[in-house]
Structure 1
Amino acid sequence: MAKKFSLAHLTALECSPPELTYIAARAGYDYVSLRPIYMGLPGEPNYALAEKKEMKKQTKKALNDTGLELLDIELARIDNGINPKDYEPAFEVAAELGGRHVLSSIWTDDRSFAIESFHELCDLANPYGLTIELEFVPIAAVYDLAGALDVLKATNQQNAGLMIDAHHFSRSRDRAEDLDQVPKEWFRYFHLCDAPGKIPDSKEEMTHTLREERLYVGEGGIDLANMLNRIPEIPYSLEIPHTKRAQELGYEEFARRCLQSAKDYLTNHVYSTS
């Protein structure tokens, strides 16, 4: 089975959803992954397609023109003061555009609230044919594999899954062997990137790397093969933001090099696990 790749929006966040879709197609990707949920982060572009009707129309046209599929949308954060129902317009957009998955992460320390909110997200997404994929993030409240599995087991939802990000898995100091205990059906796609082997001491340095300076696949020190050879063959979403490289190369060439590095690495290090 041919390996499938998506261009994650964070890799070229300055590009609007329609622009990113055309870039992904020209660079040779199979899917695109979009961020139509505006989080209000410093410097973050607003691509809230539920509100930006013309941009949504252009995105739909780009998907139709290129034949690419929408793999997932993000980010349905769970945090204090956020009502999961606020994400439903984005779910509707994702379904309209043919999307499959919604990425979520947990930033509140209130476990009961987190579990209740995640359960509600799954219920809200279900009528739209969407799954909710929980990602643990080393700078968030749910920061490692054990924390994510705790939530997934507690909520026990059919349309819930686990989304592993290679950078986050490494920084959480999880062991690849622990992936053997995860139900295979919980894996639906994987965030593929690389980073230096040395784990930063500070949260600030880690945040800088994960948002602005990840490395091409195989360029860094993360033991990617040990992770990837333990999970089913699923789409690889390339989330490799590197501000300087993208500016120097242009987003399309940068996206192309991200994809080539991934293909080269997988060919040489990963066997089919389907």
Structure 2
Amino acid sequence: MHALSLAFLTTFEVGPVEAVRIAAKAGYQMVGLRILPAAASGEPAYPLLTDENVLKEVRSALADTGVSVGDVEIIRLKAENDWDLFARFCERCEALGARHVLVAGDDTDRVRLTESFARFCKLAGRHRLTADLEFMPWTAVPDLKAALSIVEAAGHENGGVLVDALHYDRSATTLEEIAALPRGRVNYVQFCDGAVPYDPSDEGLIRIARGERLFPGEGGIDLLGLARAIPKDVTVSVEIPHRALAEKVDALGRAEMAIAATRAILRAAGHL
């Protein structure tokens, strides 16, 4: 049975306390939170990293609702990294009782990127966290094959490959490769749908990924096949940012729509 987690981007406009409460109301067992910005610029800092009052409020909401923190975003590994910042990030993740850290690879030097990932895995492991490398077509880790190569070469048990439905569909990745992933390398997956055909440029891929995803069943991604390819007990993070819809439907409404559509796909695949 899959545990379902409300991803940060699905209800991007609300704060962490409200996200926890929305997750509980909509029926999710977990919630995803963002502490460090995903974009290089244009994204504000997140007070959850440094504000003790915010941390206290989030922990209180978690205790009140029974929701737990699934993944925390985002570590971007570059040619040069702020390891002191990463250490503070991991300390915060542990304080939240989080399980997984979303990691992106932006360093085009594969050897150095692998060394950085191994170093982060070691750091995350001290805080009982997994480090989950997400492949994205426009990054230095464009597909599952590249991600698994880095994770395996890094050689840490808490290292994982993060499969995002959108990026699987847009990259040179097959369902057979996903099904063949070692169980210990799959800690959670991300579910959404997307329009087909689509703009294959980096700009188009990023625009859709950050604000134009569709609810499962509304697009052309083989989500039924993906559901059958993943382990039946892995956490499913429901990541469906839809900025146009957010102007019409509030965060709770979208969270409810997202979980209903995801459950329908999982049920059809025999995973519920």
Task: Report the equivalent of 1:239.
Answer: 239
TM-superposition CA deviations, 1:12-66 (whole Å, max 9, x none): 2221111111111111111000011235644424224231222111111111111
Matched, 1:193 2:166: no
Secondary structure of the structure 2 residue equivalent to 1:248: coil
Matched, 1:99 2:98: yes
CA contact (8 A) 2:76 2:103 kept: yes
Matched, 1:154 2:153: yes
Task: Report the equivalent of 2:212.
Answer: 213
1: CA distance between counterparts of 2:77 and 2:40? 15
2: CA distance between counterparts of 1:126 and 1:157? 9
Shift of 1:101: 0.8
CA contact (8 A) 1:194 1:216 kept: yes
- Kindly tell me: are residues 24 and 184 of structure 1, through their superposed partners in 2, closer, same or farther at Cα, counting changes over 3 Å? same
The number of equivalent residue pairs is: 271
CA contact (8 A) 1:115 1:154 kept: yes
Range moving further from structure 2, 223-232 or 238-247: 223-232
Which blocks of at least 5 consecutive residues in structure 2 are unaligned?
none
2: CA distance between counterparts of 1:11 and 1:213? 11
When normalised by structure 2's length, the TM-score is 0.95
CA contact (8 A) 1:197 1:222 kept: yes
Task: Report the equivalent of 1:128.
Answer: 127
1: CA distance between counterparts of 2:37 and 2:257? 28
2: CA distance between counterparts of 1:184 and 1:226? 17
2: CA distance between counterparts of 1:181 and 1:33? 26
TM-superposition CA deviations, 1:71-126 (whole Å, max 9, x none): 11011110122234421111111111111111101011011210111001011111
Task: Report the equivalent of 2:259.
Answer: 259
What is the RMSD of the two structures over their aligned residues, measured on CA atoms?
A: 1.6
2: CA distance between counterparts of 1:68 and 1:247? 27
CA contact (8 A) 1:49 1:55 kept: yes
2: CA distance between counterparts of 1:180 and 1:209? 25
CA contact (8 A) 2:223 2:265 kept: no
Q: Percent identity?
A: 35
CA contact (8 A) 1:37 1:87 kept: no
CA contact (8 A) 1:38 1:48 kept: no
1: CA distance between counterparts of 2:181 and 2:38? 30
Task: Report the equivalent of 2:223.
Answer: 224
2: CA distance between counterparts of 1:90 and 1:83? 11
1: CA distance between counterparts of 2:47 and 2:135? 23
One-letter amino acid of the counterpart of residue 163, structure 1: L
CA contact (8 A) 1:37 1:48 kept: no
CA contact (8 A) 1:11 1:240 kept: yes
Shift of 1:197: 2.3
Which blocks of at least 5 consecutive residues in structure 1 are unaligned?
none
Matched, 1:144 2:143: yes
Task: Report the equivalent of 1:250.
Answer: 250
Secondary structure of the structure 2 residue equivalent to 1:128: coil
One-letter amino acid of the counterpart of residue 123, structure 2: L
- Kindly tell me: are residues 48 and 202 of structure 1, through their superposed partners in 2, closer, same or farther at Cα, counting changes over 3 Å? same
CA contact (8 A) 1:134 1:162 kept: yes
1: CA distance between counterparts of 2:88 and 2:173? 35
Task: Report the equivalent of 1:88.
Answer: 87
2: CA distance between counterparts of 1:264 and 1:45? 35
Moved over 3 A (4+): 38-43
When normalised by structure 1's length, the TM-score is 0.94
CA contact (8 A) 1:197 1:220 kept: yes
